[in-house]
Amino acid sequence: MIHGNSEQFYYFAYGSCMCPVDLKRSLRENTHPYVIGPAQLKGYRLGFFRYSRRRQCGVLDIMHTPGATVHGVLYSLPWHLSALLDHREEGYVHHPVTIECRGKTFSNTRTYTVLEKLGHEHAPSDWYFDVVMRGALTCGLPESYCWQLFAHMHGLQLQQQQAA
């Protein structure tokens, strides 16, 4: 496969789309061949600043934060999947970023950010938690980052349980 030609676009996934199996469900096409590898977005951090009515839980977003880094998965997707990806990411808008992956820099990479952010984080469901962790582990994100992600999501779930 040729990466980065005019018939494809780079896409940085940091939430449930890190899991190629879950992404396949929405795009109706096997997405494993489109994975370039684990990648980093510098100057951002993760947060659950959106409540998805469809998923009935908090879902991930990125926030500009100097000195922080978000790990995720870089894909090179065919253009014919663009509209399906946009549909999956309802409530989000395109956000062009520069990504580092396998010692290379990928500018003008598409990611998504929440259009109307909540003022506080909302906990993920167990299902969303599992999909995010499966994607992070399957695609080889650093172990220390996986533990941080796990602890953050688990902490939000505990806060929600205690508030109920």
Beta-carbon neighbour count of residue 37 at 10 Å?
12
Tell me the percentage of the chain whose pLDDT exceeds 90.
90
Tell me what pLDDT residue 1 has. 37
**Helix, strand and coil percent figures for the chain, each rounded to 5:** 35, 40, 25
Rounded Cα–Cα distance for residues 113 and 94 (Å): 7
Check whether domain 8-158 has CATH 3.10.490.10, yes or no: yes
Is residue 89 annotated as a catalytic residue, yes or no? Answer: yes
Predicted confidence at residue 5, as pLDDT, reads 54
The label of the residue with tokens 């953050």 reads 152
Catalytic site residue from 89, 90, 116, 121: 89
Predicted confidence (pLDDT) at residue 149 exceeds the cutoff of 70: yes
Given a cut of 90, whether residue 101 has pLDDT beyond it is yes
Count the neighbouring beta carbons within 10 Å of the beta carbon of residue 103. 5
Q: Mean pLDDT throughout 124-134? A: 96
Q: Which residue ranges are tagged as binding site for substrate?
A: 11-16, 128
Over pLDDT 70: what percentage of the chain? Answer: 96
| Rounded (5°) CA angle 102-48-34 | 30
Q: In the prediction, which pLDDT does 3 show?
A: 46
**Domain parsing of the chain, residue ranges:** 8-158
Phi (first) and psi of residue 90, to 5 degrees: -60, 140
**Cα 21 to Cα 27: distance, rounded to the nearest angstrom:** 10
pTM: 0.93
pLDDT in tens, 27-61: 999 999 999 999 999 999 999 999 998 889 999 99
Q: Annotated binding site, which residues?
A: 11-16, 128
